[in-house]
DNA sequence: CTTGACTCTGACATCGACGTCAAGGTTTAG
DNA sequence: CTAAACCTTGACGTCGATGTCAGAGTCAAG
């Protein structure tokens, strides 16, 4: 599919999709004309990016964490051509990102303490 | 105390303190000269603002939250029910992101399991 | 071929949370 | 009194994630 369809299907603007690509968050093949071409798997890929952005991670943080965000298949993404050591380092970055978010969540929980009835 | 001392004691720049006041997050009395005057209670007040900013809230959100926040030895307790909704939604977005990253980490662990024991 | 929908790459605009600097008034120490 | 240190209000700069617009190329249908 081309960028317009991906934009419609993800609810993300074309501008944002090009920006993600420019920041290294998203890949695309190109027609000879230069038109970007996407596959089905790019739809959930965009969703993942949006979730992380919505949680307050910057594109710079996401670009470190994302190369190893893979689908249920357990297959390596082209972003992870390397060895176990690289994967372990990526895992560490993911741990850090989770830690930051958990700290943020803890702050919110403190505010909500005694006020929230159910989760 | 004047703005310089408050800045030193909170670790927040004078510029930021004036900005907080401009946004309605912080109050100050004024000398005839126009100099801002702060009291002891402004130190934890600034700390509260910083905590909320660090949790990903905007000044616009904070200005709504602050009147409902009761300072209790660093504990933040919302007293206005409609706020809880917004905070819960914010918490939910963070939960989603943590979920994404945990799924990623689990997948990563699966990949690593075949090659080397995950730490 | 022409039209209209779609896409491309710049490049400037916006918004939030400040940084930084300018030009000037105030306070305090000597 | 004077100088240093402190304060004031603008106003412009920055950075990240977009919006928006311009000028131009591409593609499918009639």
Please tell me the distance from the alpha carbon of residue A31 to that of residue A52, in angstroms, as a whole number: 29
Same domain, B59 and B93: no
Please tell me the distance from the alpha carbon of residue A31 to that of residue A35, in angstroms, as a whole number: 5
What pLDDT, on the 0 to 100 scale, is given for residue A87?
Answer: 59
Same domain, B52 and B91: no
Same domain, B94 and B63: no
Beta-carbon contacts of residue A71 (< 8 Å; ≥ 6 apart): A41, A44
Whose CA is nearest the C1' atom of nucleotide D9? Answer: B34
A69 pLDDT exceeds 80? no
Q: What is the mean pLDDT of residues A24-45?
A: 94
Beta bridge partners of residue A30, listed in sequence order: A36
**By the CB < 8 Å criterion, does B98 face chain A?**
yes
A41 domain residue, yes or no:
yes
Mark yes or no for CB contact A65/B112 under 8 Å: no
Q: How many domains does chain B have?
A: 2
Q: Could you list the residue range(s) of the whole structural domain that residue B106 is in? A: 80-119
- What is the 3 state secondary structure string of A26-61? CCCEECCCCCEECCCCHHHHHHHHHHHHHCCCCHHH
Same domain, B61 and B5: yes
- Contact status, residue A42 vs residue A6, Cβ threshold 8 Å: yes
Same domain, B70 and B85: no
User: If you count them, how many residues does chain B have?
Assistant: 119
pLDDT, tens digit (0-9, with 9 covering 90-100), for B62-94: 887 776 665 554 455 555 666 677 778 878 878
List the 8-37 stretch of B: residues with Cβ below 8 A of A.
none
Same domain, B68 and B84: no
Beta-carbon contacts of residue A8 (< 8 Å; ≥ 6 apart): none
Which CATH number covers residue B74? 1.10.1660.10
User: Which among A51, A97, A98 is the nearest to B96, CB-wise?
Assistant: A51
State the CB neighbour count (10 A cutoff) for residue B41.
8
Query: From the centroid of its chain, how far is CA A100?
Result: 16
Provide the 8-state DSSP code for B115.
Answer: T
Q: Which nucleotide is nearest to B5 (CA to C1')?
A: D6
Same domain, B58 and B111: no
Mark yes or no for CB contact A55/B97 under 8 Å: yes
Please tell me the distance from the alpha carbon of residue B118 to that of residue B62, in angstroms, as a whole number: 41
Task: Please state whether strand C lies within 7 Å of residue B27 at its CB atom.
Answer: no
A16 domain residue, yes or no:
yes
Mark yes or no for CB contact A54/B97 under 8 Å: yes
A93 domain residue, yes or no:
yes
**By the CB < 8 Å criterion, does B97 face chain A?**
yes
pLDDT, tens digit (0-9, with 9 covering 90-100), for B3-27: 999 999 999 999 999 999 999 999 9
- Contact status, residue A62 vs residue A52, Cβ threshold 8 Å: yes
Task: Please state whether strand D lies within 7 Å of residue A58 at its CB atom.
Answer: yes
A1 pLDDT exceeds 60? yes
Query: Nearest C-alpha of chain B: how many angstroms from A32?
Result: 34
**In this structure, what is the dihedral angle of CA atoms A97, A100, A106, A111, given to the nearest 10 degrees?**
-120
Mark yes or no for CB contact B90/A113 under 8 Å: no
Same domain, B101 and B75: no
């Amino acid at each position: 599919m081309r960028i317009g369809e991906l934009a419609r299907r993800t609810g993300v603007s074309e501008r944002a999709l090009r920006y993600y690509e420019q920041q290294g968050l998203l890949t695309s093949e190109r027609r000879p004309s230069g038109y970007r071409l996407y596959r089905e798997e790019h739809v959930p890929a965009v969703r993942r990016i949006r979730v992380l952005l919505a949680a307050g991670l910057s594109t710079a943080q996401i670009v470190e964490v994302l190369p190893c965000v893979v689908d249920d298949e357990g297959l390596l993404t082209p972003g992870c051509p390397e060895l176990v050591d690289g994967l372990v380092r990526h895992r560490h970055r993911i741990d850090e990102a989770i830690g930051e978010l958990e700290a943020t969540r803890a702050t919110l929980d403190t505010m909500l303490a005694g006020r929230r009835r159910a989760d």
